[in-house]
Structure 1
Amino acid sequence: MYTKRKEDKMKTVKNICLSLKRYSFLLEQLISRDFKVKYKRSVLGVLWSLLNPILMMCVMAIVFTNVFKFSTPGVNYLTYLLTGLVFFNYFNEASNLSMSSVVANFSLINKIYIPKYIFPLSKCLFVGINFLLTLIPLYAVIILTGTGLNIYHFLLPLSFIFLFVFTLGVSLFLATVSVFLRDMFYIYGIIIQILSYMTPIMYDINMLDPRLQMVLKLNPLYHIITFARTIILYHQIPTSMDFAACIISSIASLIIGAVVFRKNQDKFIYYV
């Protein structure tokens, strides 16, 4: 029984890889279309991907350092803030776009056969390209504030992978639910707002009550952002607990999202 399940899983993974290879051109076209739509008639175009996190950081830094007197002992607050913003903004934008990706492409799904997971995946990859662009201002701030680079930065791509896998899992789940429950578009706006406060983007979690800290540490985004901050700000290798938390949460998210999506994708056609 165990051997059969293992063979089925291997077969599923193989089919997904073959499907990705077969529809790679479509995936490229979907990503290209998103770029053209997003920056159509925009004077600055792609430069907004660089300016947006910088402007957000400036506004939030002024508010939280001067009004609420937030600080992060031992590290530069601007770098701390921008690291959290860049990572959270990726999750926010990718999950929001992916949620409506299947619904928005019903006309295409009705005409020809396309693996439906292509749509959430294309959104996560599209936002991922923007995410890579936002690393330019992040590294500019790292250098200009004297935070500096360190040898452990070679581990930083792992935090990007954890973030992508976790977001893709959430995106597959949201894309499924939104087909059957259109109210999800409004509900998720509230959820993401709550999540933004439950993720230590602009504040240090150590300033909170220990019991509240335990609650906030249930948030997978906390562990992924902490993983990156450990490398960037503290010049250290993340602990084994950090690795375990990121790996477990990202893989669990992907498995749950993929299972829910796969079990329901054949019903999508009835909810146009």
Structure 2
Amino acid sequence: MGSKTVFSDRSKEERGARLTTVDLSEFDVPGRGRGLLDVLRWRYLLRLLVRKGTATRYRNSVLGWTWSYVKPGIQFLVYWLVMGFIFGMDRGLENFPVYLFSGFVAVNFFNEAFGNATSSIVDNRALVKKIYLPRELFPIAAVWVAFVHFLPQLAILLVVCVLTGWIPTFAALGAALLGMLILGATSLGLGLFFAGLNVRFRDAQNFVEILRMLATWASPVLYTWTLVAEKLPEWVLYVYMVNPLTIAVEYFHYAFWQPTIPDERFHGFAPHFELYTAGAVVLCAAFLVIGQLVFRRFERSFAQDL
């Protein structure tokens, strides 16, 4: 009887030893990842989320993707009528429709990407509560979907620019690409920040709506930066120009509006614009870092809060 007990204890120890020698290096700790770095490992799932977002946006809609042209078109006409004819900007600024539309599509991209990223976790609560996957995939997919919906507006802008004498140059294309990158990074960083907050505090969504409403007026879309320099103190101009949205809109103006007007009618960039651009890039990086930290802080309780 004693020998059986010794043999049984020895067997348990051997089984325990074998279990402890199992290689666990290929296993992930459930519920925690490497943040934005995990997106590279989950590229296939990111593509699925983007495909889902683009396919379901206008599902059961009669006009379908036509809404991507109709809604921004109506908004543009309203701003053009108000700012162009009522306030006279159409007479004071050469080729004002292209100036307005080039800034308008940039702000539209930011607003949609920022808003979608903020609500991405709440909108995908079923997946978040049931399975583990890097939660950052949802805000990133939301920004990509916004970029896909931005392309039809960009196509219309290009057609209008070509009809008004636009000739593409490497400088113009580079400015447009830089503007898009700034918009994407800013919307993703702020989207991560507010997406984490929005799961626990739904007031965050309302605050984001206010920021989106102010975005059009806080950047030179309906007016020029020279008006800010003339009407407001100098320190306000510094803060205004470091705004990443302002920098991105100005690059869009340089890329699409400036080639369609005579050189002497171009008001030019603000003094020290390269320094403002560097400051905007630093802010974009700060938004991404802070947004990721806040997102991961609230990520621990996503399933419970949802």
- Which bracket does the TM-score occupy, shorter chain normalised? 0.7 to 0.9
For 1:232, which of 222, 234, 256 is the aligned residue?
256
The correspondence of residues 75-114 of structure 1 with structure 2, limited to 5 A, is 75-114=94-133
Report the more deviating stretch, 90-99 or 201-210: 201-210
For 1:123, which of 126, 139, 142 is the aligned residue?
142
Question: In structure 1, the residue corresponding to 2:64 is in which secondary structure?
Answer: coil
CA contact (8 A) 1:166 1:250 kept: yes
One-letter amino acid matched to 1:30? L
Measure how far apart 1:214 and its partner are: 4.0
How many Å separate the matches in 1 of 2:219 and 2:173? Answer: 25
Q: Cα 1:242–1:150, aligned 2, differ >3 Å: closer, same or farther?
A: farther
How many Å separate the matches in 1 of 2:56 and 2:171? Answer: 37
Question: In structure 2, the residue corresponding to 1:100 is in which secondary structure?
Answer: helix
Measure how far apart 1:20 and its partner are: 2.3
1:193 aligns with 2:227: no
Partner in structure 2 of residue 3 of structure 1: none
Report the more deviating stretch, 171-180 or 15-24: 15-24
Aligned residues between the structures: 259
1:180 aligns with 2:200: yes
For 1:260, which of 288, 291, 294 is the aligned residue?
294
Measure how far apart 1:264 and its partner are: 2.5
1:45 aligns with 2:64: yes
Measure how far apart 1:197 and its partner are: 1.9
Measure how far apart 1:115 and its partner are: 0.6
Measure how far apart 1:18 and its partner are: 6.5
Partner in structure 2 of residue 244 of structure 1: 278
State TM-score, norm by structure 2: 0.76
Q: Which segments of 5 or more consecutive residues in structure 1 lack a partner in the other structure?
A: 1-13
How many Å separate the matches in 2 of 1:29 and 1:139? Answer: 29
The correspondence of residues 132-171 of structure 1 with structure 2, limited to 5 A, is 132-155=151-174, 156-171=176-191
Which contiguous aligned blocks of 4+ residues in structure 1 show a shift greater than 6 angstroms? Answer: none
Task: Provide the alpha-carbon RMSD of the alignment.
Answer: 2.5
For 2:50, which of 31, 36, 44 is the aligned residue?
31
How many Å separate the matches in 2 of 1:166 and 1:91? Answer: 8
How many Å separate the matches in 2 of 1:227 and 1:126? Answer: 22
**Deviations, residues 78-102 of structure 1 (Å, cap 9, x unaligned):** 1111111111111111111111111
State TM-score, norm by structure 1: 0.85
Measure how far apart 1:175 and its partner are: 0.1
Partner in structure 1 of residue 41 of structure 2: 22
Q: Cα 1:60–1:74, aligned 2, differ >3 Å: closer, same or farther?
A: closer
Question: Percent of aligned pairs with the same residue?
Answer: 27
How many Å separate the matches in 1 of 2:116 and 2:243? Answer: 21
How many Å separate the matches in 2 of 1:244 and 1:214? Answer: 13
For 1:58, which of 69, 77, 86 is the aligned residue?
77
Larger radius of gyration: 2
Q: Cα 1:93–1:27, aligned 2, differ >3 Å: closer, same or farther?
A: same
How many Å separate the matches in 2 of 1:241 and 1:71? Answer: 31
Question: In structure 2, the residue corresponding to 1:217 is in which secondary structure?
Answer: helix
One-letter amino acid matched to 2:282? I
One-letter amino acid matched to 2:248? I
How many Å separate the matches in 2 of 1:216 and 1:140? Answer: 31
